[in-house]
Amino acid sequence: MSLLSAIMQHGERVGLSHYRVDNQIWQGVLQHADKTVSLIASWADEDYATMLLLEDELPFLLSVPVEKRRYYAPSMRFLAAQWGERMARDLWGVEPLFALDDRSALDNGSWTLTWPMAREPIPVQGKVHDEREEGYELKAACLAVPGLLDLTYNVSKGLITKLDVHIASGHRGILSQVKGLSPQEALPLISRVSAGGFVAHPLAFVRAVEQAQAKVPLPQERDIRFILLEVERISLHLFDIGLVARCVKADLLATHCDHAREVLAQLCSQYGVSRRLTDTVRFWDEGSKVSEIVPFAQAVTETMQPLLPRLTGLNRLFSSRMEGIAILSPEHVWGYAIGGVTGRASGRYIDMRSMDVGMRLDALRASGRHEGCALARNGQRLLEIRDSLYLIQRIIASLGIEDEAQTIPMTGEGLGVAEGARGDIWYWVKLLHGKIENLQVRDPTQPVLCVLEGIMRGHQPDDIPLALASLGISPAGVVL
């Protein structure tokens, strides 16, 4: 019997795919869940601890009451739960028992409140000890990737032996700022969670809200969202390939990526959308912001297609500089449910677009790789740009085609996912009287942070910028 079927029998159903269980079942899951079950995210507030699990590509939520601010840590079984547990402890003051890592993730002593999301936050007295261990330190400004990521590492004989990731300084308090807002009021803020998903983040949020409200977008609006997501994917893949190219001094490849990305940005503004597609995602009843979607989509495919062979040729030309660098093993991508290009270049071919109602599945042709190195990830990005262009063509050829009508019950809570350029982005939202009572976000960088030490061990410190760029690491969506 699958885990989900067992839980359906023994748990209380509180959402479309959300079950609440008691402590005994929760612990049973942590002890007995097999390899067919992976953890996408975990979070906890003062009332419930929750795991977002995937079994045979079917997502479901499992919650347990938090008692006396404590719960059994999902990281006892699922290693990817560690960041969620650490963040919940900092924000709500809830303790994961037997957790893999009990250090602060967000609160580094600079906040004015302790447990700021708790019902009764505590005004700060004194400073939290900064738990960084001794070692070399690489500050955000020294790294190739934009964003606030600091690393500390130890070196022996010139090679990294230990590495730790610090993201706390980028925490903006987004979860507390959206609490109590209506979804419409929250959307502008959600649209700026991460530039690694100006479309994908708000799309996952809007989908979660629509599920909570039992709404389904019209097929035409659904298709416009698909197209915007693919245009964003192309733009971000170009950014990431260009960043990798700069790290390996392949300036010619970087120049071609810069050029292609700028051409794409100009096309966006020419057709009335913002250069980076900011604020283009709207709710089901608000109508689309993109009035000329077909000419826009045609212009994108006609302009980008001729540039692709040159990019692919240049990537091949510089391949020896990327080959074998920052290898991520299949065991790690499966164990930590790492998705996106990073997962697919290491043998975990899971693409959440295949779950989207109305998706033209035949357009998703890239089959993935297994080498798991910087070269494999760049190659995968180029194949996915090819697929995105094909997918856009397929969509405009049948824009607004009806799919099987779904009726979903109104539950007041919803789970939304969007396959962004750097992986699957998940939002869980709970509404109360039309306002956001609870919101949780899972960005694809989160599981990658868990495996960074394993990837970098045995590499020279000089390889760090290339590894980060190649893995598409962007902390903004994790740190919130």
Kind of pairing between the strands at 435-442 and 113-114? unpaired
Q: Hey, how many other C-beta atoms are within 10 angstroms of the C-beta on 90?
A: 23
How far is Cα 307 from Cα 258, in angstroms, rounded to an integer?
Answer: 12
Stretch that binds other proteins, among 54-62, 136-144, 356-364, 370-378 (CB under 8 A): 136-144
Asked if 423 and 444 touch (Cβ cutoff 8 Å), the reply is yes
* Side-chain half-sphere CA neighbours of 29 within 13 A: 34
Give the shortest CB-173-to-other proteins separation in angstroms. 4
262 binds other proteins (CB under 8 A): yes
The only residue of 313, 324, 330, 400 in contact with other proteins, by rule CB under 8 A: 313
Site for other proteins in 177-206 (CB under 8 A): 177, 188-189, 191-196, 198
Give the shortest CB-116-to-other proteins separation in angstroms. 5
Stretch that binds other proteins, among 26-34, 62-70, 145-153, 346-354 (CB under 8 A): 145-153
The only residue of 27, 255, 288, 303 in contact with other proteins, by rule CB under 8 A: 255
Q: Which is nearer to other proteins, 196 or 343 (CB)?
A: 196
- Select from 197, 187, 207 the least CA-distant residue to 416: 207
Q: Which is nearer to other proteins, 6 or 113 (CB)?
A: 113
Give the shortest CB-121-to-other proteins separation in angstroms. 8
381 binds other proteins (CB under 8 A): no
The only residue of 46, 101, 164, 258 in contact with other proteins, by rule CB under 8 A: 258
Q: Hey, how many other C-beta atoms are within 10 angstroms of the C-beta on 285?
A: 12
310 binds other proteins (CB under 8 A): yes
380 binds other proteins (CB under 8 A): no
474 binds other proteins (CB under 8 A): yes
> In sequence order, which ranges of 248-324 are alpha helices (DSSP H)?
251-270, 293-304, 308-317
How far is Cα 92 from Cα 243, in angstroms, rounded to an integer?
Answer: 37
110 binds other proteins (CB under 8 A): yes
173 binds other proteins (CB under 8 A): yes
**Per-residue exposure over 248-271, b if at least 16 CB sit within 10 Å of its own CB, e if not:** bebeebbebbbebbeebbebbeeb
170 binds other proteins (CB under 8 A): yes
Stretch that binds other proteins, among 18-26, 34-42, 67-75, 308-316 (CB under 8 A): 308-316
> Phi then psi for 102, rounded to 5 degrees?
-110, 25
Give the shortest CB-477-to-other proteins separation in angstroms. 8
The only residue of 256, 332, 348, 381 in contact with other proteins, by rule CB under 8 A: 256
The only residue of 174, 200, 352, 464 in contact with other proteins, by rule CB under 8 A: 174
How many residues at the interface with other proteins, by CB under 8 A? 59
The only residue of 27, 154, 288, 312 in contact with other proteins, by rule CB under 8 A: 312
169 binds other proteins (CB under 8 A): yes
Number of helices (H), then strands (E), belonging to the chain: the values are: 16, 15
How far is Cα 196 from Cα 273, in angstroms, rounded to an integer?
Answer: 17
* CA dist 113 → 86, 110, 125, 168, 171 (Å): 17, 9, 9, 15, 13
Q: Which is nearer to other proteins, 32 or 139 (CB)?
A: 139
320 binds other proteins (CB under 8 A): no
* Side-chain half-sphere CA neighbours of 364 within 13 A: 16
Residues in the chain, total: 480
Give the shortest CB-264-to-other proteins separation in angstroms. 12
- The residue type found at 441 is V
171 binds other proteins (CB under 8 A): yes
Q: Hey, how many other C-beta atoms are within 10 angstroms of the C-beta on 321?
A: 17
Contact flags string 338-377 toward other proteins, x per CB under 8 A: ----------------------------------------
The residue assigned the tokens 């893999």 is 100
Q: Which is nearer to other proteins, 142 or 410 (CB)?
A: 142
261 binds other proteins (CB under 8 A): yes
Stretch that binds other proteins, among 62-70, 163-171, 429-437, 452-460 (CB under 8 A): 163-171
How far is Cα 90 from Cα 112, in angstroms, rounded to an integer?
Answer: 13
Q: Which is nearer to other proteins, 53 or 476 (CB)?
A: 476
How far is Cα 21 from Cα 11, in angstroms, rounded to an integer?
Answer: 5
58 binds other proteins (CB under 8 A): no
How far is Cα 155 from Cα 151, in angstroms, rounded to an integer?
Answer: 13
Sign of CA dihedral 303, 257, 320, 422: negative
Site for other proteins in 272-291 (CB under 8 A): 275-276, 278
Kind of pairing between the strands at 37-44 and 48-55? antiparallel
254 binds other proteins (CB under 8 A): yes
Determine the straight-line distance between the first and last CA of the chain, rounded to whole angstroms. Answer: 38
Residues in touch with other proteins (CB under 8 A): 108, 110-113, 116, 121, 139-142, 146-148, 168-174, 176-177, 188-189, 191-196, 198, 239, 242-243, 251-252, 254-256, 258-259, 261-262, 265, 275-276, 278, 308-310, 312-314, 316-317, 386, 474, 476
